[in-house]
């Protein structure tokens, strides 16, 4: 049975926040912060909790970016199946640190997620980040990088 998950596209000062996963699925890969929804938890509350647990940042979910399937197979066997609600979020407090099941966290410039950088982001993750970026620009509610 698929599990419901949440993810956060957190954009601030022209950068997006990524985490390096400390556990399966995708252990060792850079991706968006997020995780499984808890029983009785709303999507917005779940994304805020997961971001706080993994990154130390308090966020406010602003808008749903995309609903995606993440199906991880080993041969013919389905190992993980998540239906993930990815939200555009803004930082409202906290102190950035890697915690919970994130081994590392870092702000990433747009050129790093749109290129073949050492981050080796999954194409689906890049698509969600780019959609979140475009939505943030359209809403004009995020701080831009200062020169």
Q: What CATH number does the domain located at 3-139 have?
A: 3.90.79.10
Distance CA 70, CA 50 (A): 17
Q: How many CB atoms lie within 10 A of CB 97?
A: 12
Over residues 3-39, the pLDDT tens digits come to: 999 999 999 888 999 999 877 767 888 999 999 999 9
Report the pLDDT value the prediction gives residue 5, as an integer from 0 to 100: 96
Over residues 98-137, the pLDDT tens digits come to: 988 888 999 999 888 776 567 778 889 999 999 999 999 8
- For 139, half-sphere exposure in the C-beta direction (CA atoms, 13 angstrom radius) is 17
Cβ atoms of 122 and 28 closer than 8 Å: no
How far, CA to CA in Å, does 100 sit from each of 23, 107, 123?
Answer: 10, 18, 25
Q: Please give the backbone phi and psi of residue 143, each rounded to the nearest 5 degrees, phi first.
A: -65, 140
Best CA proximity match to 65, nearest among 131, 123, 143: 131
- Residue 138: pLDDT over 60: yes
Over residues 45-90, the pLDDT tens digits come to: 999 999 999 999 999 999 999 999 988 888 999 988 999 999 999 9
Model-level pTM? 0.89
């Amino acid at each position: 049975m698929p599990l419901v998950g949440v993810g956060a596209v957190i954009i601030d000062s022209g950068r997006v926040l990524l985490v390096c996963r400390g556990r399966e699925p995708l252990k060792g890969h850079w991706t968006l912060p997020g995780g499984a929804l808890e029983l009785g938890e709303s999507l917005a509350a779940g994304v805020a909790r997961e971001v706080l647990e993994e990154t130390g940042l308090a966020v406010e979910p602003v808008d749903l970016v995309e609903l995606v399937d993440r199906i991880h197979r080993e041969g013919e066997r389905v190992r993980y199946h998540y239906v993930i609600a990815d939200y555009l979020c803004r930082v409202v407090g906290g102190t950035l640190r890697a915690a919970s099941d994130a081994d590392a966290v870092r702000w990433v410039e747009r050129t790093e997620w749109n290129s073949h950088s050492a981050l080796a982001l999954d194409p689906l993750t890049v698509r969600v980040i780019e959609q979140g970026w475009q939505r943030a620009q359209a809403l004009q509610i995020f701080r831009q990088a200062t020169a």
